[in-house]
């Protein structure tokens, strides 16, 4: 028997300092990115190739939103950069190495696509442009990160600000706000800017000049990698250094009320106050999933305890009678001791968002301030996206970031009464119209 012919493939290129940190990461979940042009794609391909060579027989998955994008941005460069090292099988959508390591090629443009991966096992999962995926889709891929054998189990993500996944990527990797079942030690973020990529700076200086000449918001996101401004953001007016305050800055002499958006997936309730000139303050919040209507009512009553809240404005669908009990959500929640008198919100979306935008950019009108204790509202309000078909409306996706902003929209609509776009609304505090007979 003759010995197999060993192939030697020279892999060129020198990683920059950020890419070196990416290569050295041993975190279970590593995200690399921020600005455009940071050399993320090259680093991701190099990392996967190195792992395949280091661990014979390792099973990897490389995912992007569409297969056409994946083929253009990764498959062709891999075959070009590494010569005969990989064997590409189009039908199986797989790259393989002589040592038995494989890179399966996947795509995920919808929840239907991601369900194809349920039950599969991979040692390494790489998600390119992770902010194009929802948190639900990310969770399915996380469940596929398992197997046997003495090999690492890791996930690598590249990302830019914006997209449907902006909020969960920012929460986990940038803000590091973790849920009880999430281990902070599992997550590492490596920021990258085009200025960290000397190869691109030398090869294409015009690209940098193009980024530098963009409008301010796009420039800050694409060039500087800022996660609080991005393309498609519904409320770019929201600025934490302007609109967020300490609890001590909220006046004592304000008239308080509550606003809530209820769903079994999430209750978002806000305690607010208005001062004599119409400025609005968000004092406290409670955001909790999995609550029944009774439990949600108790949570709102606790939020409002000893506050003197004059009313609680809520989504009108709570006044619909439930088929199982014959009672409405309003009746169930209003019966909770300590619940302020409830009233149905003016649920018009576009007028509500317009009024909220006035609060965020007042130009001499009433202002909005949010206590820094309201972490969920501070996180989700700037994460809202524009609706692709109705730019004046906020998108309903990702749904996880809509609850607290919806409650805030109900609040501002309750303050202004009947909204007239052509007139500056009345700033005087008044009890919402047609509300008293709803609970008498």
- For the 17-223 domain, the top CATH level (class) is alpha beta
Domain boundaries, the chain: 17-223, 240-438
Sheet holding 102-107, edge to edge: 87-89, 94-96, 102-107, 59-64, 124-127, 154-159, 29-34, 187-192
Query: Quick check: bond before 241 cis, omega within 30?
Result: no
Q: What is the pLDDT, as a whole number, of residue 429? A: 41
Question: To 10 degrees, what angle do helices 17-24 and 40-54 make?
Answer: 40
Residue 203 has pLDDT above 80, yes or no: no
Long-range contacts of 271-275 (CB under 8 A, 24+ apart): 271/303, 271/304, 271/307, 271/309, 272/411, 274/415, 274/429, 275/251
Q: What is the b/e burial string over 64-77, where b = at least 16 CB atoms within 10 angstroms of the residue's CB?
A: bbebeebbebbbee
Beta strands in 11-149 (DSSP E): 29-34, 59-64, 87-89, 94-96, 102-107, 124-127
Three-state SS for 304? helix
With beta carbons less than 8 A apart as the criterion, state whether 303 and 271 touch: yes
Where residue 150 falls among pLDDT bands split at 50, 70, 90?
Answer: confident
The count of other CB atoms within 10 Å of the CB of residue 428 is 11
Give the mean pLDDT of the chain.
Answer: 86
Three-state SS for 332? helix
**Residue range 395-407, pLDDT digits in tens:** 999 899 999 999 9
Regarding the domain delimited by 240-438, which CATH topology (the fold level of the hierarchy) does it fall under? Nucleotidyltransferase; domain 5 (3.30.420)
Residue whose pair of structure tokens reads 């509300």 in the numeric block:
435
Structure tokens at 46: 């190099």
In terms of Cα–Cα distance, which of 260, 117, 235 is closest to 167?
235
Q: For 152, which DSSP code?
A: -
Which residues, including other chains, have CB under 8 Å from residue 6's CB and lie 6 or more apart?
Answer: none
Residue 432 has pLDDT above 70, yes or no: no
Q: What is the b/e burial string over 353-374, where b = at least 16 CB atoms within 10 angstroms of the residue's CB?
A: bebbbbbbeeeeebbbbbbeeb
Q: For 122, which DSSP code?
A: B
Residue whose pair of structure tokens reads 């004059």 in the numeric block:
310
The count of other CB atoms within 10 Å of the CB of residue 400 is 17
In terms of Cα–Cα distance, which of 285, 271, 287, 281 is closest to 244?
281
The DSSP line for 218-274 is HIIIIIT--SSS-TTBS-TT--HHHHEE-GGGS-SS-EEEEEEEEETTEEEEEEEEE
Beta strands in 372-417 (DSSP E): none
In terms of Cα–Cα distance, which of 388, 384, 421 is closest to 399?
384
d(CA 165, CA 393): 19
Residue 248 has pLDDT above 60, yes or no: yes
**Residue range 404-421, pLDDT digits in tens:** 999 999 999 998 753 333
Would the pTM count as exceeding 0.85? Answer: no
**Residue range 63-118, pLDDT digits in tens:** 999 999 998 889 998 888 887 789 999 888 999 999 999 999 999 988 899 888 98
């Amino acid at each position: 028997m003759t010995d197999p012919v060993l192939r030697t493939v020279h892999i060129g290129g020198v990683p920059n300092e950020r890419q070196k940190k990416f290569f050295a990461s041993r975190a279970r979940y590593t995200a690399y990115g921020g600005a455009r042009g940071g050399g993320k794609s090259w680093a991701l391909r190099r990392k996967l190739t190195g792992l395949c060579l280091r661990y014979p027989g390792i099973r990897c998955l490389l995912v992007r939103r569409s297969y056409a994008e994946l083929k253009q941005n990764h498959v062709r460069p891999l075959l070009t950069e590494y010569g005969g090292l990989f064997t590409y099988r189009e039908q199986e959508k797989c790259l393989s190495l002589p040592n038995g390591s494989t890179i399966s090629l996947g795509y995920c443009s919808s929840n239907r696509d991601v369900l194809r991966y349920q039950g599969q096992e991979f040692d390494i999962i790489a998600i390119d442009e992770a902010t194009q995926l929802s948190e639900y889709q990310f969770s399915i891929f996380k469940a596929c990160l398992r197997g046997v054998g003495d090999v690492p189990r890791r996930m690598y993500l590249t990302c830019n600000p914006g997209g449907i996944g902006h909020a969960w990527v920012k929460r986990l990797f940038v803000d590091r706000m973790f849920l009880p079942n999430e281990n902070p030690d599992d997550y590492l973020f490596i920021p990258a800017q085009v200025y960290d990529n000397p190869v691109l700076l030398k090869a294409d200086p015009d690209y940098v000049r193009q980024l530098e000449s963009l409008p301010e918001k796009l420039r800050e996101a694409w060039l500087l990698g800022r996660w609080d401004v991005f393309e498609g953001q519904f409320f770019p007016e929201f600025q934490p250094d302007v609109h967020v305050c300490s609890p001590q800055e909220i006046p004592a002499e304000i008239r308080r009320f509550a606003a809530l958006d209820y769903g079994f997936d999430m209750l978002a309730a806000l305690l607010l106050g208005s001062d004599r000139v119409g400025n609005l303050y968000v004092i406290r919040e409670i955001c909790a999933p999995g609550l029944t209507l009774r439990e949600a009512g108790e949570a709102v009553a606790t939020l409002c305890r000893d506050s003197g809240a004059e009313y609680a404005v809520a989504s009108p669908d709570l006044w619909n009678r439930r088929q199982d009990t014959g009672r409405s959500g309003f009746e169930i929640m209003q019966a909770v001791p300590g619940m302020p008198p409830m009233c149905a919100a003016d649920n018009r979306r576009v007028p509500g968002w317009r009024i909220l935008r006035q609060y965020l950019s007042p130009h001499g009108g009433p202002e909005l301030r949010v206590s820094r204790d309201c972490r969920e509202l501070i996180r989700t309000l700037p994460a809202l996206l524009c609706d692709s078909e109705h730019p004046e409306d906020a998108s309903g996706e990702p749904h996880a970031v809509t609850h607290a902003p919806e409650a805030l929209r109900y609040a501002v609509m309750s303050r202004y009464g009947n909204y007239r776009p052509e007139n500056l609304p009345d700033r005087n505090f008044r009890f919402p119209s047609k509300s008293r007979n709803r609970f008498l």
